[in-house]
Amino acid sequence: MWRVGVDLGGTKIEALALSPAGEERARLRIATPRGDYGGTLDAIAALVARCVDGLAADDIAGVGVGIPGSLSPMTGIVRNANSTWLNGKPLHRDLQARLPWPCVVENDANCFALSEAADGAGAGYGTVFGVIIGTGVGGGIVIGGRSHRGLNALGGEWGHNALPWPDADEWPGESCYCGKRGCIETFLSGPALQRQYAALSGENVDARTISERAEAGDAAAIAALAAYSRRLAKALASVVNTLDPDVVVFGGGISNIDAVICRAARDLPDWVFSDSFATPLLKNRWGDSSGVRGAACLIYSGNAV
Q: Over range 9-27, report the average pLDDT.
A: 88
Nearby residues of 285 by Cβ (< 8 Å), 6 or more positions away: 116, 119, 120, 121
Q: Answer yes or no: are the C-beta atoms of 286 and 252 closer than 8 Å.
A: no
The CATH-assigned architecture of domain 2-111+288-301 is 2-Layer Sandwich (3.30)
Q: Tens digit of pLDDT for each residue in 221-260?
A: 999 999 999 999 999 999 999 999 999 999 999 999 999 9
2-111+288-301 matches 125-283 in fold:
yes
Rounded CA separation 225/243 (Å): 26
Q: Which amino acid is at 284?
A: N
Q: Over range 147-167, report the average pLDDT.
A: 94
Nearby residues of 150 by Cβ (< 8 Å), 6 or more positions away: none
- Residue 136: band (very low, low, confident or very high) from pLDDT cuts 50, 70, 90: confident
Q: Where are the domains of the chain?
A: 2-111+288-301, 125-283
Q: Which amino acid is at 136?
A: G
> In this prediction, what percent of the chain has a pLDDT beyond 70?
98
Q: Tens digit of pLDDT for each residue in 170-209?
A: 999 999 988 999 999 999 999 999 999 999 999 999 999 9
Cα distance from N-terminal residue to C-terminal residue, the chain: 20
Residue 305 pLDDT exceeds 70: no
Rounded CA separation 18/3 (Å): 5
State pTM to two decimals. 0.88
The pLDDT value given to residue 283: 95
- Pairwise pLDDT comparison (229 vs 11), residue with the higher score: 229
Fold classification of 125-283 is Nucleotidyltransferase; domain 5 (3.30.420)
Q: Tens digit of pLDDT for each residue in 95-113?
A: 999 999 999 999 999 999 9
